[in-house]
Chains A and B, each alone.
Chain A
Amino acid sequence: MAQVELDGIDRIFHLGDATVHALRAVTLSIEAGEYVAVMGPSGSGKSTLLNLLGLLDPPDAGVYRLEGRDVTSLDPDQQAEVRSRRIGFVFQSFHLVPRLSAAENIALPMTLAGIHPDERAERVRRALSDFGLDQRADHRPDQLSGGQRQRVAIARATIMQPALLLADEPTGNLDRATGLEVTRLLEALNARGTTLIVVTHDPAMGQRARRQLGMEDGAIFSDTRGAPP
């Protein structure tokens, strides 16, 4: 059983009179622990695919099974629970809460999930040291560099130990060196067993993945397995 199974997924947006097929009959299967890059031009549907995988966007047709469970038919609260426990998001623009410190941002998913403060503190402490942020725990996002912000965001995405890590252009707002550093961090998490799905424009980053999905016009037109880096 694959970890992610998409079967005939359609996603249609209505923009005024126009109908946009963001996803057309997408059928896809991803095993646990895979490292997948989703590539394609703007508007090819790759972000929509990622949102769909993250249960942020419902399909108009088709079935999405996550770890064997049909998640398309879950009610919103159950989907929130799945997002909370099984899925981690990393965004291009970091999406840190500006008024919260680095440590509080990292703890946010655990806070939302109602995990006991003692356990939160322990896990945040470990995450800060794992991601080299010990000295930055009390800094607010505007006191952090771009690379540090994305490390905080990745620490936050993984603090609930999700099975699936979804990254939307994670290096898009970073310079090349910092971007590479962040990419290596994500790959290290993947090496420890987390499934990593990255949406990227950057062919260099895409080539690092063991599997590349090429998208155009809402459909997957290529699915290649490149050599591991």
Chain B
Amino acid sequence: MRLADTLRFAAGAALGAPLRTALMALAMAIGVAAVVLLTALGDGARRYVIGEFNALGTHLVIVLPGRTETGGLGIGGLASSTTRDLTLDDAEALLRAPGVVRIAPLVVGDAEISTAGRLRSVYVVGTHADFREVRQVHVAQGQFLPDEGLHHGGNWAVLGATLREQMFGSSPALGALLRIGDRRFRVIGVLEASGQGLGMDMDELVLIPVSVAQAMFDTQSLFRILVEARDRDAIAGVKQAVERILQARHDGERDVTLLTQDAVLGTFDRILSALTLGVAGIAAISLAVAGILVMNVMLVAVAQRTGEIGLLKALGASSGTIRSAFLVEAGLLSLAGGLAGLFLGYLGAAALRIALPDLPAEPPAWAVLAGLGTAIVTGTVFGVLPARRAARLDPVDALSRKS
């Protein structure tokens, strides 16, 4: 039998039982749609997270005191007391490393702030004017911390957007006096609302010069040093230089941990990719179920068309011809179901994008191909048994049954 004839014959046979065909295609479609939609969701989440990270600036090297294999970014990941502190002099030394554009040391602590009778506890971040460039924060009102060198600083405060709202409400904040701990600061700027970043809510903190913060918290040590490399390619060199400089300054002890955006990004990428793969796997189970349904339905088809199979044999069809006709029928049904599933899946993903505009819920190409491929392969594999049964029917028996 010619291929085109086999296809036409199988398609005709499938369309000859529209309800059976539609139900089977639907089962396949749901499986494929599940794969497409769930991977779209997973991959969308992955790309959302990566996009957020990239927005932070991509060529940062973050220096943490203490040597840990798995450094965290959060405030909870403070250095253990046994390691040598990172100091402002360390930070200053890093500025001289090749490939380093600018640095921003961080000192973090919490303190009570108050103004005009309002009082609350906030995170106070001591840093330097370059923090604005390094972290790409935007000033909504006034100015950022002035560049007074690392070791000097006035009592200036820059507020996060939410904090300003909470402390000052509708009254003007710029130029106002603010008590932080036991010192008085003048508000010189307010940041634009930006949300989370580096494990801190930028909208809820107050920025002051790093030397002032050190004096206030009575410490010499830094929480982090953010080092900005010239570009992405310079990161590796900068990491080595930072390591070398700090080792030399710390009596040969390698007691810092370096994090790069790339590493953090890579970790998230891996976690979310694995997650996407996992959901795709779960969705693929529904495809296997659909495959078993294909087998069931094809077995019914063989039983229903027994007389026809006997006839085909009497007309000179070989077992191979009959087998391939039924296999092709199963394959076509799976393909139709798979394509319908793709359509449903893309439709669902589009609906998701409308419902959650921030989430780029695009089904990845590999998932689309894998979903469709699995559908066709399982449908055909599960079509083998019915097709073999059809091919093995005894023609005399088959003919004597009513078709």
Contact = CB atoms under 8 A, between A and B. Distances in A.
Contacts of A160: 316
Contacts of A20: none
Contacts, number: 74
8 contacts: A56-B396, A57-B395, A57-B396, A77-B320, A80-B318, A82-B316, A83-B313, A114-B5
B143 interface: no
B1 A111 contact: yes
Contacts of B314: 54, 56, 83, 89, 95
B1 A80 contact: no
A99 B13 contact: yes
Contact of A80 (B15, B317, B399, B402): B317
B312 A77 contact: no
A91 interface: yes
Given A82-B316, A87-B316, 12 more contacts: A54-B314, A56-B314, A56-B396, A76-B319, A83-B313, A83-B314, A83-B315, A84-B316, A99-B15, A111-B1, A113-B1, A114-B2
Interface residues of B, number: 27
Nearest to A85: B316
Interface string B314-355: 111111110000000000000000000000000000000000
A112 interface: yes
Nearest to A99: B16
B313 A56 contact: yes
Contacts of A77: 318-320
B323 to A, nearest CB: 12
The B contact surface, by secondary structure, is helix
B311 A81 contact: no
A108 interface: yes
Interface string B158-194: 0000000000000000000000000000000000000
B217 interface: no
Interface in B1-49: 1-2, 5, 9, 12-13, 15-16
A221 B192 CA distance: 109
Interface residues of A, number: 30
A109 B315 CA distance: 6
B321 A95 contact: no
Contacts of A89: 314-315
B311 A95 contact: yes
Contacts of A80: 313, 316-319, 321
Contacts of B402: 93
Contacts of B395: 56-57
B403 interface: yes
Contacts of B311: 95, 97
